[in-house]
Amino acid sequence: MTKPALLILSFSPIAGDARVLKQVRLFRDRYAVTTCGYGEAPEGVEHIRIPDGLSVTALNGRLITLRWYRRAFWSLPAVRWVREALAGRRFDAVLANDLEAVPLALRVADGGRVHADLHEYAPRLHEEHAAWNRRIRPFAEWLARRYAARAASWTTVGAGLAREYERQFGFAPAVVTNAAPYADLQPGPVGDPIRLVHSGAGLGNRNLMTMVEGVELARREVTFDLYLTPNDPAYLDRIRRHAERSTRVRLHDPVPYDRLIATLNEYDVGVFVLPPVNFNYRWALPNKLFDYIQARLGIIVGPSEEMAHYVREHDLGVVADDFTAESLARAIDALDGDAVRRMKLASHAAAPVVSAEREVHGWETAIDRLLEPRSAS
């Protein structure tokens, strides 16, 4: 029997995109999977590689101003290229990643069999910037109404984002979190001083210096290591200059994801205090929370609703009172060896429960439902 053909479409470097790679690995043995995205081919699938220089964000400002959204979208360089590359091909179903992939998915999916994994809440992605909110938000809302609402099913990374999609556009995504794959690790002994760590993007709007300042304000002796990607070089330089003067803070180059969990396992407590500067930050449920769990760390977060829920539900650590350096310092001062040891054991207990292997069933259910008639024929 010929396997049903599934296209996984993502305007990202798929071989390095942790979320999309989970989809590839979930379906590549069950279906005839073709991926379309930037970068090298993921293992075990046919790959249609989008040329690196073609952008999916270089919107024509004049068309956006005139609100000629259809022309603005279909004239995007990456969209034009993918449309031509997929011309004449039909797939039994398409798993479209992020809002921009959905219109193309609807063109090539047989009978409109499209599952939209919308990741974040795109219409409010950068709402803290007035110009973006005024010009790009209406375009993203148009994409959601005109195209995403026509998909057969949907997922997103958290419950708060799912509720907003339903409230604004009338469709209700299921939740597939950015959970990390299960890591067969043990909690390490608690260090003296306690070893704090943060890994992630070096972005100015994440206000990473607040965490640095909170560590410096704390009375308890701790160390704080940061593994940051150079998204904002000027901001990263500011952190680097501080670290060079500090006896507590150390800045490291980012670690490849396949080594990240083992690297984090050498620490005691993962820290992420994220100011709610936009809607997606308010409802953030990021990869790093799950990385910290798989690394068997205690966790300190700010009062971000989704992250705080996980920390409290599984007794993983401490939720700071607010997003300030002073509040983080108080949370650090509340730590001691016994408390951190209990947190690490709680992460160990939670690791199999909140692993990617549990979470991907949301995609499995959606795609199997779309392809069931073909599988049975």
Please tell me the total number of residues recorded for the chain in this structure.
Answer: 377
Evaluate if residue 19 carries a pLDDT over 90. Answer: yes
Determine contact, residues 31/371, Cβ cutoff 8 Å: yes
Judge if 12 and 157 occupy the same domain: yes
Residue 234 region by backbone torsions, left for phi larger than 0, else alpha for psi between -120 and 50, else beta: alpha
Judge if 259 and 367 occupy the same domain: no
Q: What pLDDT, in 10s, does the model give residues 93-147?
A: 999 999 999 999 999 998 789 999 999 999 999 999 999 999 999 999 999 999 9
| Model pLDDT, residue 110 | 80
| Residue 200 counted as domain residue | yes
Judge if 152 and 205 occupy the same domain: no
| Model pLDDT, residue 257 | 87
**End-to-end CA separation in angstroms for the chain:** 9
Assign 375 a pLDDT band (cuts: 50, 70, 90). Answer: very low
Number of domains in the chain: 2
Find the domain containing 59 and state its range.
5-176+360-376
Residues 169 and 167: their CA atoms lie apart, in Å, by: 6
- pTM of the predicted model, to two decimals? 0.93
| Model pLDDT, residue 76 | 98
Judge if 267 and 324 occupy the same domain: yes
Pick the closest to residue 252 from 232, 230, 231 (CA basis).
230
Report strand pairing: 194-201 vs 114-117. Answer: unpaired
| Model pLDDT, residue 376 | 44
| Residue 95 counted as domain residue | yes
- The two tokens of residue 297 are 């760390």
Assign 373 a pLDDT band (cuts: 50, 70, 90). Answer: low
Judge if 198 and 273 occupy the same domain: yes
Q: What pLDDT, in 10s, does the model give residues 34-65?
A: 999 999 999 999 999 999 999 999 999 999 99
- The rounded Cα 369 to chain-centroid distance in angstroms is 25
| Residue 187 counted as domain residue | no
Judge if 212 and 110 occupy the same domain: no
Pick the closest to residue 320 from 281, 354, 274 (CA basis).
274
Judge if 345 and 366 occupy the same domain: no
